[in-house]
Structure 1
Amino acid sequence: MTENHRLIHATPDQVWDVISDGWLYPLWVVGAARMRDVDESWPDVGSKLHHSVGSWPLLLDDETEVVDATPGRSITLRARAWPAGEARVHLRLDASGVDTDVRIDEVPVSGPAALMPPPLHAPALKWRNSETLRRLAFVAENRS
């Protein structure tokens, strides 16, 4: 497991508002290039985001599904990014005064990334999720 955390200067509800707006996913998730569709029930369990990963012209269409969610508190996703594979991504939001401590952990669960030992994939996931939290902070702290 690779965990990152960041104190975001926004309330848990403000951070959740960003997470629960599926159309904003490519703004804060590193690797997501564009949204193709968002299930109307997002972020309910079983709902999906239909996105593309990569950079033009090498875009691959894929999806991310909600495995578990407690609104305003946490969400667990099964993120697909083939051919790299799939990962379980868990975000937890904890109030810290008027701010929010956001923790993200990601574990490869299938595909080539899951076959790699953690010392090989952990540094890349650590960097990626640090940048993901930085972007999430930019959106949550500056959204009106």
Structure 2
Amino acid sequence: MLTAEVTVPVPPEQAFAALADGWLYASWVVGASHIGEVDPAWPAVGSRIHYRFGLWPVLISDTTVVRAIDRPHRLELEARLWSVGAASIELTLTEAVPGQTIIRMVERAVRGPARFVPGPAQDLVFAARNQESLERLANVIRARARDS
């Protein structure tokens, strides 16, 4: 299973704060283009982000829901992809050294036709996208650290 990974120069609590701000979702998730609503309880289990993905004028509305949380070390999401299915996304945050956090991301199709695609083939599809998403997340985290 391929895991996307980045290291950011902040402690896990500070890195997790960017994940806990659902309004930032479209700024780091590749493909998400517009946030319509974030449940007030985000990122509590069962809370949702309502978003659109794609490129204008072809935008599809859907949701991502929190499946599990262990703040500030793990966030497990289920991202729906219209009628095509859904993917399970696990983000883990580990303090490498004091003040530095490694963020890892693993994604697997869990519903729809893509769930029948073997894991290594899914890795090929998700790996570059997830690495780019984490690079964007790292930029958001660094900018928030500079501004605080």
Q: Deviations over 1:53-82 (max 9, x none)?
A: 111111000000000001111100011112
Fraction of identical pairs, as percent: 38
1:85 CA displacement: 1.9
Conservation of the 8 A alpha-carbon contact between 1:42 and 1:48: yes
Cross-structure match for 2:86: 86
1:84 CA displacement: 3.6
Cross-structure match for 2:34: 34
TM-score normalised by structure 1 residue count:
0.94
1:122 CA displacement: 1.6
**Residue 3 of structure 2 aligns to a residue in which SS?**
strand
Cross-structure match for 1:44: 44
Cross-structure match for 2:126: 125
Conservation of the 8 A alpha-carbon contact between 2:75 and 2:90: yes
Q: Deviations over 1:12-58 (max 9, x none)?
A: 12211110000000001111111000000000001000011111111
Cross-structure match for 1:64: 64
TM-score normalised by structure 2 residue count:
0.92
Q: Which runs of 5+ in 1 are unaligned?
A: none
Q: Which runs of 5+ in 2 are unaligned?
A: none
Conservation of the 8 A alpha-carbon contact between 1:9 and 1:137: no
1:83 CA displacement: 4.0
How many residue pairs match? The answer is 144
**Residue 2 of structure 1 aligns to a residue in which SS?**
coil
Instruction: Write the letter of the residue equivalent to 2:71.
Output: P
Between the aligned partners of 1:99 and 1:113, the Cα distance in structure 2 is: 35
1:117 CA displacement: 2.4
Conservation of the 8 A alpha-carbon contact between 1:32 and 1:53: yes
1:115 CA displacement: 2.3
Between the aligned partners of 2:55 and 2:69, the Cα distance in structure 1 is: 29
Cross-structure match for 2:135: 134
